[in-house]
Amino acid sequence: MLDALLAKLEARLGATPANLRPLSGGCVGEVYGLEAGGERYALKVDRQQGGALAVEGRMLDYLERRTALPAPRAVAYDDGYLLMTWVEGGGGGGGELHAADLLADLHDLSADAYGFEFDTVIAALHQPNPWTPRWLDFFAEQRVVEMAKQAYDAGNLPGELLRRAERLAGRLSDWLEEPAKPGLVHGDVWSGNVMGRGGRITGFIDPALYFADPEVELAFITLFSTFGDAFFSRYAERRGLSPQFWDAKRPLYNLYPLLVHARLFGGGYVSQAGSILRRFAG
């Protein structure tokens, strides 16, 4: 399969791919670096052709067309592969002030409802995005209940926690208010997805796009300590933070990525999600 794919890429690029080498990372299939025609590229390969890479390619196209967020450019893709331009720099965050400015600009992009133009993915998991007028309805059904069901169906979430998630979905308004308007979020800002060099961000990779309450992105950033105080101070200068962010929004919004990780890995992520569900769902 790889030989046939390289032949396809040679026809697409007009140059012979060379110096193919495996890279670490990648929730979907294999990741490689390569060179062709004097340019460097990153290549993802999904031998199962599950379709997640085509969705990622469409998200990168959207970022290139509609935003100023630095990200790889999708050169070519289908259900089995994604070829992207190379992003210089290393992972692990850094460039906190630059990141705050970039994400504040991204979050300023709005839509008439919550959701997205098409369903996206987080890791390789289906992320449904039907246009929904109210954020609390969208977050309840398309994030909390949806991912709790995925984790339950995978055998990683006990039925008791699924029932608490369903109960919480009807009670979010006890703690949260509707945001002023939707904002576009990257959706998966952890340190491994942030490339930087010299105190500047060179690219955000592996997007999981949708229009949301932008503070769902900020909560995720706290979950894995992607950025620290400098980031939040700068972001607050640009867009402000709601009074309920640290006490209520942060744990409630982090329920979704914890359920994602419970679906993927089980283990301690189930316990962390359970603690939030017991606190807020009773």
The question of whether 112 is a catalytic residue gets the answer no
Q: What is the mean pLDDT of residues 159-183?
A: 97
Q: Is 50 strand, coil or helix?
A: coil
- Predicted pLDDT at 167: 98
Q: What is the mean pLDDT of the chain?
A: 95
Name the CATH superfamily, with its identifier, for domain 2-85: Phosphorylase Kinase; domain 1 (3.30.200.20)
Domain edges within the chain: 2-85, 96-281
pLDDT in tens, 106-126: 999 999 999 999 999 999 999
pLDDT in tens, 191-227: 999 999 989 999 999 999 999 999 999 999 999 999 9
- Class level of CATH domain 96-281: alpha beta
Q: How many Å apart are CA 87 and CA 228, to the nearest integer? A: 23
Confidence check: pLDDT of 48 > 80: yes
Q: What is the mean pLDDT of residues 34-50?
A: 95
- Predicted pLDDT at 92: 62
Measure CA of the first residue to CA of the last residue in the chain; give whole Å. 51
- Predicted pLDDT at 26: 64
pLDDT in tens, 62-84: 999 999 999 999 999 999 999 99
Confidence check: pLDDT of 93 > 60: no
Q: What is the mean pLDDT of residues 163-182?
A: 97
266 conformational bin, left if phi > 0, alpha if psi -120 to 50, beta if neither:
left
**pLDDT category of residue 94 using cuts at 50, 70 and 90:** low
Q: How many Å apart are CA 131 and CA 111, to the nearest integer? A: 10
Active-site residue, from 46, 188, 206, 213? 188
**pLDDT category of residue 52 using cuts at 50, 70 and 90:** very high
